[in-house]
Amino acid sequence: MQRVVVTGMGVVAPNGIGVKEFWTSLVNGVSKVRQIKSFDVSEYSTKIAGEVDNFDPCVYMDPKKARRMSRFAQFALAAATMAKEDAKLEINEENNRRIGVIIGTSINGMKTVEEQEVRLLRGGPKAVSPFSVPTAIPHGAVGNLCVEFNIKGRSITISTGCSSSLNAIGHAFECIKLGVCDAMFTGGTEAPITPLIMGGFCSASVLSKRNGDPEKASRPFDKSRDGYIIGEGSGILVLESFEHAVKRHARIYAEIKGYANTTDAFSMFAVEPSGSEAVECFSSACKQAGICQEDVDYVNAHGSSSRVSDERETMVIKKSLGMHSKKVMVSSIKSMIGHPLGAAGSLQTIASINAINDSLIPPTINYEERDRGCDLDYVPNETRKENVNVAVVNSLGMGGNNAVLVLKSYNN
């Protein structure tokens, strides 16, 4: 079995484009939740989100190609371009069949679908773009990346709701571990801030309504949380076998040691109350990584700011780590960027890798009052200087899909 390491990272997020800007904003505890600018929200119960500002796709791709991509695919190609440059990975005809792409997304090209629906209603079928289907499909991000980089190895799109990108990273990890590929571009991308998607979430009454104070709306684990905030963006990583990375003298950021995925098999809508399968997932990932409870220094939590989910995740961490759960540091970056759905796990992973390398734990901001059901150390409001050797990333998806990834500081 191959060891698997991270050698490149790229980010498009509400709080910054590029890993440095993203990470600096997180450690400074800056919220980038604002009133939605991309469409009229006057009739929406929630009018705020974590939007990516000042994103120009033409910085990263040909304008003609950009016009034939939906926003989620543009985000992915931009983040992948940064990750490729960061990893200094050369792709050519000699190695492109040993390189693959696995990306997670849940909403994918809904923006394109909505725009083309308007054209259909106004001008009939002939008004619909011939590029609408390949632009909107979930595989649009992976497909465009493979074409742009001339990658001919394994290419897969994963869609499991909010756990999509962590499952994508986990599957890429397994591909390299088993020797299927030498390197993988992996992570997630999402652009769900559209009239239809926001309308659906508002109708479900799951979003915060703190429209007058958007920066404080996302407040994971806090007693007064009233729902989550939708975000958008992309996080892409380059994973390689340790042997491949060393051979080409690549910089190694961290090592992936374990991954697990389980399903509650309970409901597509309701949360399974016992958390048994989420605990199984957490424990299985740690077992695969060869670590015990006391080895875990930091948990980058799903922490969506949902009243039910945050309390249940707290219970899962306590059951998984036992008495050590009182000592482990837990935080949620969604307090600053909102919940980017299928892209969440990839951005959490990149944040965790930076936590390992900089010995800094990003805070859970807007934490003001303790909730009796949420009684762990959530690193409230201020970044903490602590060494991190092992970090666990937790992600929960649609229909009770649980994903956990274990990261470890790199040492030869």
Q: Domain tally for the chain? A: 2
Residue 172 shares a structural domain with residue 274: no
Residue 234 shares a structural domain with residue 378: no
Where residue 178 sits, what CATH number does that domain have?
Answer: 3.40.47.10
Whether residue 83 contacts residue 18, with contact meaning beta carbons closer than 8 Å, is answered with no
| Mean pLDDT confidence for 328-356 | 98
Rounded to an integer, what distance in angstroms lies between the CA atom of residue 160 and that of residue 343?
11
Residue 235 shares a structural domain with residue 275: no
Cα distances from 262 to residues 31, 286, 396, 400, in angstroms, run: 32, 14, 10, 8
Residue 298 shares a structural domain with residue 387: yes
| Candidate list 162, 175, 202, 374, residue with the active-site label | 162
Nearest to 340 by CA among 120, 39, 49: 49
Model pTM score: 0.97
Residue ranges with strand state E in 62-195: 99-104, 155-158, 183-190
What is the secondary structure of 241-262 as a DSSP string?
Answer: EHHHHHHTT----EEEEEEEEE
| Mean pLDDT confidence for 372-384 | 97
Residue 149 shares a structural domain with residue 100: yes
Rounded to an integer, what distance in angstroms lies between the CA atom of residue 36 and that of residue 163?
24
pLDDT digits (tens, 9 = 90+) for 245-287: 999 999 999 999 999 999 999 998 888 999 999 999 999 999 9
Q: CB-hemisphere CA count at 13 Å for 247?
A: 8
Residue 395 shares a structural domain with residue 309: yes
Residue 211 shares a structural domain with residue 350: no
Q: Does some domain include residue 412?
A: no
Q: Residue 1 has what pLDDT?
A: 87
| Candidate list 139, 181, 339, 374, residue with the active-site label | 339
**60: pLDDT strictly greater than 70:** yes
Instruction: Tell me if residue 202 is catalytic.
Output: no
| Mean pLDDT confidence for 343-362 | 98
Q: Does some domain include residue 40?
A: yes
Residue count of the chain: 412
Q: Does some domain include residue 54?
A: yes
Residue 287 shares a structural domain with residue 201: no
Residue 87 shares a structural domain with residue 236: yes
Residue 208 shares a structural domain with residue 261: no
Instruction: Tell me if residue 302 is catalytic.
Output: yes
Residue 229 shares a structural domain with residue 294: no
pLDDT digits (tens, 9 = 90+) for 223-248: 999 999 999 999 999 999 999 999 99
Rounded to an integer, what distance in angstroms lies between the CA atom of residue 330 and that of residue 308?
17
pLDDT digits (tens, 9 = 90+) for 155-167: 999 999 999 999 9
Instruction: Tell me if residue 171 is catalytic.
Output: no
Q: Does some domain include residue 335?
A: yes
| Mean pLDDT confidence for 184-189 | 98
Residue 237 shares a structural domain with residue 271: no
Domain boundary at 211, 227, 247, which?
A: 247
| Candidate list 139, 171, 244, 302, residue with the active-site label | 302
Q: What is the mean pLDDT of the chain?
A: 96
Domain boundary at 216, 247, 278, which?
A: 247
Range of the domain at 154: 4-247
pLDDT digits (tens, 9 = 90+) for 72-120: 999 999 999 999 999 999 999 999 999 999 999 999 899 999 999 999 9
Domain boundary at 221, 247, 273, which?
A: 247
Q: How confident is the model at residue 411 (pLDDT cuts 50, 70, 90)?
A: confident
Q: For CA atoms 318, 340, 12, 153, give the dihedral sign.
A: positive
Q: Does some domain include residue 252?
A: no
Whether residue 11 contacts residue 243, with contact meaning beta carbons closer than 8 Å, is answered with no
Task: Provide the token pair at 106.
Answer: 């849940």
**412: pLDDT strictly greater than 80:** no
